[in-house]
Amino acid sequence: MVQAILRLPAVKAESGASRSTIYLRIQQGLWPKPVRLGPRSVGWPASEVAAINAARIAGKTDDEIRELVAKLEAARKTAGKAL
């Protein structure tokens, strides 16, 4: 399965959040950490961005979103081991 990686401008457009808000949410555990693409570039899996947006639209609490972020990041590690 091929998964798109969104760079920051696309993530900002998809989420409606600014760069500083995205990185603040990462610190707060409310947004998944980026995936390193190279020495000076990062991105986020499109499916993770969509999942967080859906949770926000559904009115999930910050604690529920933190749980979702933890699950998304854990799924990355298990997917990486499968390769």
What pTM, to 2 d.p., does this model score? Answer: 0.90
For residues 9-28, average pLDDT: 98
Domains and CATH numbers, the chain: 5-82 (1.10.1660.10)
| Cα Dmax for the chain | 36
**How do 41-45 and 35-38 pair as beta strands?**
antiparallel
Q: State percent of the chain over pLDDT 70.
A: 93
- Contact, 39 vs 48, CB < 8 A? no
Rounded to whole angstroms, the Cα distance separating 34 from 6 reads: 10
What is the C-alpha R_g of the chain? 12
* pLDDT per residue as tens digits for the range 40-63: 999 999 999 999 999 999 999 999
**What is the C-alpha separation between 39 and 37, in angstroms, rounded?**
7
